[in-house]
């Protein structure tokens, strides 16, 4: 949930069980406030009780729905902001929180609650012989806070002695602060919350590839000092089987380890460089950041596919119906990651060259939320193969994802298909004629498709009704959509009439002209795009990283920020750039250098190849 919601989700555990050593008078009082007596009992935003737990994927979906509903109430924007931090001097830990009223409101029966929680604790043994603990609350204290005037700031401070830790000694390097502004009585609603980790690391695109091997891959890690004061951070890169180093802004040299001073609130973009060889493999590296003032450590793990494209296979039904696809990928020599539950948002698929998604007979495993972040992925030029029978059942037309991303103008549910007959000249199906086999007639629920203008039929059924289409969008993103379950295709048979050839041809077409330029990370197809915005949501500034192809570099480029209505707010650049990756910072101001209000914005990159955009959320 933290990966998906980022800074909009703050989590601590208040221990009340006698079977672990973290229960204190303070944690018991906090639990009593919400009537928590059993485990598991989760209270979301002080309003929503979840008692008991399902299997993890189902429970995560329940929490996700609650959180999305809460964020929808006010667009994810609170009228109260919280700043501050943590300082450790000897055995004393001091947490300071500044609660500021940003917009008109009156909060008179409220309190500021400060937590200290600890991660990575070893203690044996809890329920189920558990011996590893995270988010364990060490301190939780509340102070009355009244906010009635815009701009008003109330400061709350609490100090805790490390030596008073109950049960297990406290490791200050794993100690983190949290502040909450909440209603004292009644609904006990949480108005705003924040964590105060002193350093934040983000890797917007964790995945990279050097498809031909013997090249250079680059990753950008954003390191931000979230503390109030300047600090020195020890940076280190390791773990890759290839030579790797990094570069910090303003320094032309590369390092494997370096101590870097970062001011309070400042963010620096660190570029990791990996020089690969000709060995085909997938490997993870490790980039670590350690604060010298308190020993807190943050790490990210960039993942590199060498000698092959980076492919993510989503085994959405996690059973034998997906075996034909994995067999085909293996036969064709592709390297791929596999997940057996739906990826948790756009961040989980960013950087992959192609996504292969198979739902088997479980159409519900690909829904509107998945379609939403696949749209973002394809807006960045992504390649997508969806094999999903029944996905279109219950869908209404028009549907932006189905029409504009899968290339389907209209459809007929359950038109059935006993054949997959290829189309002459088609790069995927030319010369193919296959008989489809289903376990029962009722299991044959292939849909009939009508492609939009510009999309192409890949396979027709025995009655010349299309059931598989391919589409290349104006920004060169590509998709293949098949409404027949993979196991219906013949697994054997002379080439090209078998499922392996279908998948291999599909991947070849999807990845065509999508080889990554190893020196600058720009797609050789000429696709220019906004790569990332960090941080996002933003409170003051955000760094916009964008990639330009050789073709785009020959003409002027513009990068602007617009509001939700499309009105230009800030012009960041209208000029020519060299091919490669670039970074510009939006300082949160408009063209008249005035502070922009909290809300929804878009960064828009316009080149000779077209337009791409990145959603931005500004919080105050």
pLDDT in tens, 286-332: 999 988 876 667 889 999 999 999 999 998 766 778 889 999 999 99
| Closest of 204, 202, 200, 201 to residue 547, by C-alpha | 204
Residue 63 has pLDDT above 90, yes or no: no
Task: Give the CATH number, domain containing residue 290.
Answer: 2.60.40.10
DSSP 597: P
Mean pLDDT score, 516-533: 51
CA-derived radius of gyration, the chain: 26
494 and 370 both lie in a single domain: yes
Average pLDDT, the chain: 86
Which pLDDT does position 352 carry in this prediction? 95
Indicate whether 206 and 192 sit together in one domain. Answer: no
Query: Which tokens in the block code for residue 86?
Result: 């943590």
Contact residues for 206 (Cβ-Cβ < 8 A; gap 6+): 219, 300, 301, 302, 303, 350, 351
Tokens of 314: 């989503």
Could you tell me if residue 369 is inside a domain?
A: yes
How many domains are there within the chain?
Answer: 4
Would 332 be classed as within a structural domain?
no
CB 552, CB 575: distance < 8 Å: no
Centroid of chain to Cα 508: 27
| Domain range for 19 | 2-196
Give the span between the Cα atoms of 133 and 171, in whole angstroms. 13
| Same domain flag for 274 and 149 | no
Contacts 24+ apart (CB under 8 A), 461-468: 461/415, 461/416, 461/417, 461/418, 461/419, 461/420, 461/421, 462/417, 462/418, 462/419, 462/421, 464/421, 465/412, 465/415, 465/417, 467/415, 467/417, 467/420, 468/420, 468/429
Strand partners, 433: 421
Smallest CA-to-CA distance from 511 within 385, 331, 375 is with: 385
**463 and 552, same domain (yes or no):** no
Please write the tens of the pLDDT for every residue from 405-451: 999 999 999 999 999 999 999 999 999 999 999 999 999 999 999 99
> Of 468, 484, 511, which residue is a domain's last?
511
pTM: 0.63
Which among 139, 113, 299 has a CA at the least distance from the CA of 203?
299
Residue 113 lies in a domain: yes
Let me know whether 218 and 289 are in one domain. Answer: yes
Residue 158 · residue 67 · CB < 8 Å: no
**pLDDT of 376:** 87
How many other CB atoms are there within 10 angstroms of residue 295's CB atom?
14
Alpha-carbon distance of 603 to 597, in angstroms, equals 16
If you search the block for the tokens 């376990």, which residue do you land on? 439
Overall residue count recorded for the chain in this entry: 620
Whether the predicted pLDDT of 223 surpasses 80: yes
Q: What is the CATH number of the domain that holds 598?
A: 2.60.40.4070
Structure tokens belonging to residue 279: 């060995």
The answer to whether residues 78 and 155 belong to one domain is yes
Report the candidate in 579, 588, 593 with the shortest Cα–Cα distance to residue 618. Answer: 588
Residues 433 and 573 in one domain: no
Q: Is there a domain that residue 519 lies in? A: no
Nearest to 558 by CA among 611, 601, 615: 611
pLDDT band (50, 70, 90) for residue 457? very high
| pLDDT tens digits, one per residue of 4-23 | 555 567 777 777 776 778 88
Instruction: Please determine, for residue 517, whether its predicted confidence score (pLDDT) is greater than 50.
Output: no
Looking at the domain assignment, is residue 564 inside a domain? Answer: yes
Cis peptide before 398 (omega within 30 of 0): yes
Q: Which of 26-30, 275-279, 334-338 has the weakest average pLDDT?
A: 26-30
State the sign of the Cα–Cα–Cα–Cα dihedral 176, 181, 185, 189: negative
**Co-location of 163 and 36 in the same domain:** yes
Angle at 319 (CA atoms; ends 313, 320), nearest 5 degrees: 95
Residue 522 belongs to some domain of the structure: no
Q: Is 197 helix (H, G, I), strand (E, B) or coil?
A: coil
Confidence of residue 65 (pLDDT cuts 50, 70, 90): confident
**pLDDT tier at 532, thresholds 50, 70, 90:** confident
Q: Are residues 136 and 250 in the same domain?
A: no
* Cα 201–Cα 207–Cα 208 angle in degrees, nearest 5: 120
Q: How confident is the model at residue 60 (pLDDT cuts 50, 70, 90)?
A: confident
The Cα–Cα gap between 48 and 71 comes to 13
In tens, the pLDDT along 127-158 reads: 667 788 888 899 999 999 999 999 999 999 99
Is the domain of 484 the same as that of 608? no
Which two tokens mark 91? 């055995």
Per-residue pLDDT tens digits for 69-79: 877 777 667 88
Q: Give the model's pLDDT for residue 274.
A: 95
- Whether the CB-CB separation of 569 and 590 falls below 8 Å is answered with yes
CA 240-243-246 angle, to 5 degrees, is 90
d(CA 308, CA 353): 10
Domain co-membership, 89 together with 146 = yes
596 DSSP 8-state letter: P
Q: What is the pLDDT of residues 301-314, one digit of tens each?
A: 999 999 999 999 99
> Cβ neighbours of residue 124 under 8 Å, at least 6 residues apart?
131
Asked if residue 524 belongs to a domain, the reply is no
Domain termination residue (choose one: 291, 306, 321): 306
pLDDT of residue 179: 92
Distance separating alpha carbons of residues 371 and 597, to the nearest angstrom: 30
Q: Are residues 52 and 87 in the same domain?
A: yes
pLDDT of residue 515: 39
Q: Examine residue 521 and state whether it is found in any structural domain, yes or no.
A: no
How many other CB atoms are there within 10 angstroms of residue 221's CB atom?
24
pLDDT at 197 over 70: no
Q: Quick one: pLDDT band at residue 481, thresholds 50, 70, 90?
A: very high
| Residue that is last in its domain, among 284, 306, 328 | 306
DSSP 458-478: EEE-TTS-EEEEEEE-TTS-E
Residue 122 exposed, middle or buried by CB count within 10 Å (0-12, 13-18, 19+)? exposed
Instruction: Give the C-alpha separation, 563 to 549, whole Å.
Output: 27
């Amino acid at each position: 949930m933290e990966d998906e919601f980022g800074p909009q989700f703050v989590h601590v555990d208040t221990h009340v069980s006698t079977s672990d050593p973290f229960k204190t008078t303070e944690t018991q009082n906090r639990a009593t406030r919400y009537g928590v007596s059993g485990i598991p009992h989760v209270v979301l935003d002080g309003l929503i009780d979840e008692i008991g737990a399902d299997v993890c994927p189902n429970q995560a979906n329940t929490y996700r729905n609650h959180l999305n509903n809460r964020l929808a109430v006010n667009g994810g924007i609170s009228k109260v902001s919280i700043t501050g931090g943590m300082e450790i001097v000897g055995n004393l830990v001091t947490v300071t929180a500044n609660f500021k009223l940003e917009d008109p409101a009156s909060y008179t029966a409220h309190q500021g609650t400060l937590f200290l929680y600890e991660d990575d604790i070893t203690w044996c043994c809890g329920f189920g012989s558990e011996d590893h603990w995270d988010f364990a609350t060490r301190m939780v204290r509340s102070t009355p806070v009244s906010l009635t005037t815009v701009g008003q700031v109330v400061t709350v401070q609490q100090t805790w002695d490390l030596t008073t830790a109950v049960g297990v000694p406290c490791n200050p390097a794993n100690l983190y602060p949290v502040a909450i502004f909440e209603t004292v009585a009644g609904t006990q609603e949480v108005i705003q919350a924040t964590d105060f980790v002193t350093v934040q690391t983000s890797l917007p695109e964790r995945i990279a590839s050097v498809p031909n091997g013997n090249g250079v891959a680059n990753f950008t890690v954003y390191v931000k000092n979230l503390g109030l004061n300047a600090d020195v951070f020890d940076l280190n890169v390791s773990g890759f089987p290839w030579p790797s180093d990094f570069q910090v802004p303003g320094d032309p040299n590369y390092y494997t380890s370096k101590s870097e001073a970062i001011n309070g609130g400042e963010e620096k973009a660190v570029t990791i460089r990996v020089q690969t060889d000709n060995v085909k493999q997938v490997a993870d590296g490790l980039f670590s950041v350690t604060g010298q003032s308190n020993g807190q450590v943050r790490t990210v793990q960039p993942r590199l596919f060498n000698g092959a494209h980076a492919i993510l296979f989503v085994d959405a039904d996690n059973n034998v119906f997906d075996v034909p696809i994995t067999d085909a990928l293996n036969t064709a020599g592709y390297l791929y990651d596999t997940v057996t539950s739906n990826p948790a948002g756009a961040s989980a698929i960013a950087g992959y060259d192609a996504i292969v998604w198979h739902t088997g007979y479980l159409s519900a495993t690909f829904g509107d939320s998945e379609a939403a972040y696949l749209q973002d992925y394809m807006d960045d030029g992504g390649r997508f193969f969806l094999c999903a029978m029944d996905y279109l059942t219950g869908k209404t037309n028009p549907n932006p994802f189905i029409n504009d991303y899968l290339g389907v103008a209209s459809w007929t549910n359950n038109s059935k298909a006993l054949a997959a007959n290829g189309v002459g000249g088609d790069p995927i199906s030319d010369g193919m004629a296959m008989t489809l086999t289903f376990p029962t007639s009722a299991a044959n629920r292939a849909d009939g498709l009508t492609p939009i203008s510009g999309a192409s039929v890949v396979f027709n059924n025995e009655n010349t009704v299309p059931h598989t289409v391919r589409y290349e969008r104006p920004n060169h993103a590509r998709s293949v959509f098949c409404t027949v379950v993979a196991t219906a295709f013949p697994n054997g048979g002379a080439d090209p009439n078998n499922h392996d050839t279908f998948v291999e041809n599909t991947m070849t077409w999807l990845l065509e002209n999508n080889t990554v330029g190893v020196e600058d990370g720009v797609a050789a197809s000429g696709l220019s795009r906004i790569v990332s915005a960090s941080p996002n949501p933003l409170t003051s500034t955000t760094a916009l990283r964008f990639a330009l192809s050789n073709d785009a570099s020959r003409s002027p480029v513009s990068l602007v920020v617009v509001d939700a209505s499309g009105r230009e707010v800030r012009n960041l650049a209208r000029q020519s750039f060299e091919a490669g990756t670039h970074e510009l910072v939006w300082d949160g101001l408009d063209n008249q250098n005035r502070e922009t209000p909290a809300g929804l914005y878009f960064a828009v990159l316009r080149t000779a190849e077209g337009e791409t955009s990145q959603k931005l959320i500004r919080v105050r």
